[in-house]
Structure 1
């Protein structure tokens, strides 16, 4: 693909560079898309005082990159498509991919129970849930975060062993880090390696993601953006117990759009990994307009913006919701909008893709800001590409 690089004049004194190829799926001219992305990005950056924003779009395997602002207000280093951002809970999509990859390789089954891999939990209430429950926020009512008093693995096992469900597995959806974190532990245990090693030395290389990390190496620190919290104070992630498994990936727009393309089936990965990716797209529970896949959340396409805003609202994170189980699980669909949000104290991210259209988008920012404007921005851009 021949990439055309150009410098864009940007309001608000924002630096913007765009790279794009001929988007076969798009009726809009590149200049029109360029203008739409700039307008949408600049509006959200102004409204939420976002220092830096990276947007990547893929259409039928052709990529566009738009980079705005700075990776650090202190150094004024510009955002590029290789700038590393914290992606928060989008990390969970890699956790479930690792689990399905282990399943495809015969190392675990998602119908198994945790005690098979974590013997200390055998016979406990936690052992009554399945790995599918851990991957769909339907284990029985965990808190959003691992309790502060849990500081090491032994304390974590004690916490899981004494945990009592507030509802039956599969009855309600309660968004939680402890359960998906446990799945990450189990997947890594089944592969006989630490979780961070499993991602950094196995999964990321096989996905073709050389600049993705749990722990950013010294040689890549210069690419790591500075995050800013809602008060504009500089912050970076201080990961706790199960943080690696639930919210600690740092990656770039280049790598993350590659992951999107692997999920769309347009980026070549080996056959077993391709199967594992498709397994994460199976639907297990219905919650309003949203179908809960393995971490991924999907909506029938074409999708109304109102449905996306409902499914990505704060209440979906902080409240429990009765679910309808899909038996058998819904096979991976083509005419769907699949998405995931992610946040840390100083970073915000959003990923969405439409398999039928081979369209996908990545939005990365080094500022904490709400889900709604991320979803609106992505919906506006992909809608234009599918106009």
Structure 2
């Protein structure tokens, strides 16, 4: 085991209070000035986002997007394009998007919550909760390895012939790692799906109900769903595949746990705020959210947390592009276990990408700067474009903040 090569910060930076949402839709405020306190930076931030997102959408032929920003104690949501090309229904702050693998961060949060409340330990073997796997290689895998993609060789997707948890259990009984557990990172819906499935077993409940009751509701995420209810279907955007035809995610084994969340930019910003340290009413949940930022493995150029991925801040865009590349997503890469694990530190860029066949998402935040961004689109467009856009917006805002501070000195 190797020590982490990055410098650790001794303590969290002071956390700024976060205000109520200030929405902008198609470039205009969605709430009256009487409802939302005036923010002198609204126009500046809108201009920056407009100039970044409008050409991106044109280059990538993206029908619709929402962009959420947390900065300087305020939150903003800007909406662009259409949620339905056929009806030309515009995207608004209330539009629901599929967020793909960003869903995994909620699974990680629930698992950390289960550990905080004593239902499980991430050092437990899977066989503790699935005794049918006793004396099998998968039964010896720790929950931590599931949550960090370090099982030793899980496939990216659940095999196509598996249609039930009984069948996935049979698959696990015969599974063998291609390499020793904890030595390589293989990004996998199967491993995170298994983490969510086992967490639900440990908590004696249904995964969708548990994540709703213990994560979504305490964070006041009223428009975040595993299954979109009938009265919200009108807000559910259509995604668009490579052929330009409308598409939505198909339910399947581990879909809920790995890529099944639908939400708004406004709600996802609430989750970002909680990850930045904004107090939440459930102390166990707050502790769990913070714990998901613990670094467990180093896989150059990023550190693998519990699902989240982090980089020392400031970070160049090239490092983010490398860390979120196809190579990292589709190929085994060397993973060096950190001993002891790296305690959460605020001077980092933390991110997660997410895609379904018809949607593309990206979330990033920097705790020490109290800033974050959410990009939601109803097309699975270039990952590089998402990262460049987010990096440009946040680092520009950080730069203007530092310039303003210097001018006051």
Scaled to the shorter chain, the TM-score interval is over 0.9
- Output the CA distance in 2 between the equivalents of 1:261 and 1:32: 21
- Output the CA distance in 1 between the equivalents of 2:261 and 2:340: 32
What's the CA shift for 1:201? 3.0
Residue equivalent to 1:237: 249
* 1:342/1:4 CA distance change after superposition, 3 Å: closer
- Output the CA distance in 2 between the equivalents of 1:195 and 1:78: 33
Q: What are structure 1's unaligned runs of at least 5 residues?
A: 8-14
Match of 2:137 among 107, 114, 125: 125
Residue equivalent to 1:321: 333
CA contact (8 A) 1:18 1:65 kept: no
What's the CA shift for 1:30? 3.4
The alignment status of 1:30 with 2:69, answered yes or no, reads no
SS in 1 for 2:363: strand
What's the CA shift for 1:347? 0.2
Match of 1:56 among 68, 76, 84: 68
SS in 1 for 2:218: helix
TM-score computed with the length of structure 1 as normaliser:
0.94
Equivalences for residues 308-347 of structure 1 within 5 A? 308-347=320-359
Match of 1:288 among 280, 292, 300: 300
CA contact (8 A) 1:60 1:266 kept: no
* 1:16/1:366 CA distance change after superposition, 3 Å: farther
- Output the CA distance in 1 between the equivalents of 2:20 and 2:129: 48
CA contact (8 A) 1:3 1:21 kept: no
Q: What are structure 2's unaligned runs of at least 5 residues?
A: 1-18, 31-35, 400-409
What's the CA shift for 1:21? 6.4
- Output the CA distance in 2 between the equivalents of 1:332 and 1:212: 26
- Output the CA distance in 2 between the equivalents of 1:287 and 1:17: 43
* 1:156/1:312 CA distance change after superposition, 3 Å: same
Residue equivalent to 1:149: 161
- Output the CA distance in 2 between the equivalents of 1:360 and 1:346: 24
* 1:3/1:346 CA distance change after superposition, 3 Å: closer
Q: Deviations over 1:135-173 (max 9, x none)?
A: 000011011001011111111100011001001111000
The alignment status of 1:111 with 2:123, answered yes or no, reads yes
- Output the CA distance in 1 between the equivalents of 2:152 and 2:376: 32
Q: CA RMSD in A?
A: 1.6
SS in 2 for 1:180: helix
SS in 2 for 1:156: helix
- Output the CA distance in 1 between the equivalents of 2:318 and 2:127: 41
Match of 2:78 among 66, 73, 80: 66
Count of aligned pairs between the two proteins: 376
- Output the CA distance in 2 between the equivalents of 1:157 and 1:201: 26
Equivalences for residues 185-334 of structure 1 within 5 A? 185-334=197-346
CA contact (8 A) 1:18 1:66 kept: no
Q: Deviations over 1:337-377 (max 9, x none)?
A: 00000000000000000000110100000011121100011
What's the CA shift for 1:62? 1.1
What's the CA shift for 1:186? 0.9
Q: Deviations over 1:194-228 (max 9, x none)?
A: 11111223321012111111100101101100000
- Output the CA distance in 2 between the equivalents of 1:98 and 1:157: 22
* 1:173/1:75 CA distance change after superposition, 3 Å: same
TM-score computed with the length of structure 2 as normaliser:
0.89
Q: Deviations over 1:26-66 (max 9, x none)?
A: xx943332211101111111011111100000124410111
